[in-house]
Amino acid sequence: DGGITQSPKYLFRKEGQNVTLSCEQNLNHDAMYWYRQDPGQGLRLIYYSQIVNDFQKGDIAEGYSVSREKKESFPLTVTSAQKNPTAFYLCASSGTSGGGTQYFGPGTRLLVL
Amino acid sequence: GQQVMQIPQYQHVQEGEDFTTYCNSSTTLSNIQWYKQRPGGHPVFLIQLVKSGEVKKQKRLTFQFGEAKKNSSLHITATQTTDVGTYFCAGLADSSYKLIFGSGTRLLVRP
């Protein structure tokens, strides 16, 4: 797991509810990433952060928000604006901000009730 | 924008047969990485290729980076049931900060 933890492992969301997924790393990595994976599909980038207090939108940022107040933490909020949030969410970190090896957490499976 | 295509989408082989997955980028890459995701798990880094024409081996796995640095392949010799999973390539284009992942090839191995 490379020192990255994600919680919870499973999360259930009601319609219209915001939920926050946790991602913590103790690898002293500068860069962190959030990906969404749908069944049988590849990884799509939601947000990424190259350094503390800075982050950029990825390819599918609509309906999501992030913060990067600490180097170790990069929480992802799935807002009610995300109309199809059911997916597997993966957090990753890398020691270099430009395309270095990415270490993934175990993921959070989000299901909308 | 940059795209990374990966084929085939699925491959079902008999244990002991070989397996190959191919990755093609729409732009020249500065590096390409390969990851393996076991069923129900998360992607795990396998290897990174940087040089044009580079070939690297890890036991039964052989990774190649094309001369033009726009394509790559992963070949597994004599597959085993432990090879089951989805193999992703991920490319970093020149002057980019983002890895672009291919859609993955899911390998199933019949014992």
Tell me whether residues A99 and B30 touch, CB distance under 8 A: yes
SS3 assignment, position B54: coil
- pLDDT tens per residue, range B11-63: 999 999 999 999 999 999 999 999 999 999 999 999 999 999 999 999 999 99
Contacts of A1 in chain B (CB under 8 A): 42
- Using a CB–CB cutoff of 8 Å, tell me whether B110 touches chain A: no
pLDDT of residue B99: 87
A1 pLDDT above the threshold of 60: no
CA distance A66 to chain B (A): 17
Q: What's the token pair of residue A54?
A: 């800075």
Instruction: Phi first, then psi: give them for residue A104, nearest 5 degrees.
Output: -100, 145
d(C-alpha B64, C-alpha B74), whole Å:
7
**SS in 3 state form for chain A?**
CCCEEEECCEEEECCCCCEEEEEEECCCCCEEEEEEECCCCCEEEEEEEEECCEEEECCCCCCEEECCCECCECCEEECCCCCCCCEEEEEEEECCCCCCCCEECCCEEEEEC
Neighbouring residues of B82: CB distance < 8 A, sequence distance ≥ 6: none
Per-residue tokens: B5: 């295509």
Instruction: Kindly state the percentage of chain B with pLDDT values over 90.
Output: 88
* Integer Cα distance of A104 and A27 in angstroms: 12
Nearest residue, CB atoms, A105 vs list B35, B42, B88:
B42
Closest approach of chain A CAs to the CA of B60, in angstroms?
22
Chain A residues in contact with B98 (beta carbon < 8 A): 45, 48, 58, 99
Out of A2-11, A18-27, A56-65, B55-64, pick the least confident.
A2-11
pLDDT tens for residues A38-83?
987 889 999 999 999 999 999 999 999 999 999 999 999 999 888 8
